[in-house]
Amino acid sequence: MHTASALQVLVLPGWQNSGPDHWQSRWEALYGYQRVEQHDWQRPKSGDWNIQLEEAILATPETQAIVLVAHSLGCQLVARWASHSQHGHRVQAALLVAPPDVETEHNRHLLPSWQPIALQRLPFASVVLASTNDPFCSLARAHSMAMHWGAQFEDLGALGHINSDSGLGDWAAGHQVLQRLIAQTSTD
């Protein structure tokens, strides 16, 4: 099993970043996880975001396993990055929370560089967590993405977009899912 120092958890917020009350920000403060910063959170361009993730992966020592914790557009980033990068083998696992449907009529205009959704099987273990009342993605669409990505899927019930508006605080239940995923995928 990897020791804590042999594990790098990279946090991938979605469009407009994750504010101080978001569970991702709280996890960074509580557990020392590292956020992958983007140049432009307001007008996200998939190519730019891919480069930032690739640089964060390459900056991580090869002795450290990498786990990705993505929310919203960060989930689409993981899928797009994995479809193009030669470094997917560096990632041990990914927690993908509330992936948005970027192909809806509304989102096609707002996020043109994010279509089509990358729907290839991910080269690492992953879990998709979704909500029954997410305004940015139906549960059925989130489940479909999970199936294409080869990810486990969990329906969390009515939690909205699973963000700071959901009132999750430190979101201990979500962190337990992450810890379980890490334990399931750790090697000696």
**pLDDT tens column, 58-88:** 999 999 999 999 999 999 999 999 999 999 9
| Token output for 131 | 């909500």
CA dihedral 109, 114, 117, 118 (to 10 degrees): 170
Q: How far is residue 72 CA from its own chain's centroid?
A: 7
The superfamily (CATH) of domain 4-185 is: Alpha/Beta hydrolase fold, catalytic domain (3.40.50.1820)
Strand pairing report for 34-35 and 65-71 = unpaired
Where along the chain do its domains lie?
A: 4-185
What is the spatial distance between Cα 181 and Cα 184, in angstroms, rounded to a whole number?
Answer: 5
What is the spatial distance between Cα 184 and Cα 5, in angstroms, rounded to a whole number?
Answer: 18
Task: Say if residues 66 and 94 touch (Cβ distance below 8 Å).
Answer: no
Residue 1: the pLDDT is: 40
For residue range 134-145, list pLDDT tens digits in order.
Answer: 999 999 999 999
- The residue among 155 and 108 whose pLDDT is bigger is 155
The fraction of the chain above a pLDDT of 90, given in percent, is 95
Q: CA torsion sign, 101 to 105 to 106 to 108?
A: positive
What is the spatial distance between Cα 138 and Cα 160, in angstroms, rounded to a whole number?
Answer: 11
147: which DSSP letter? H
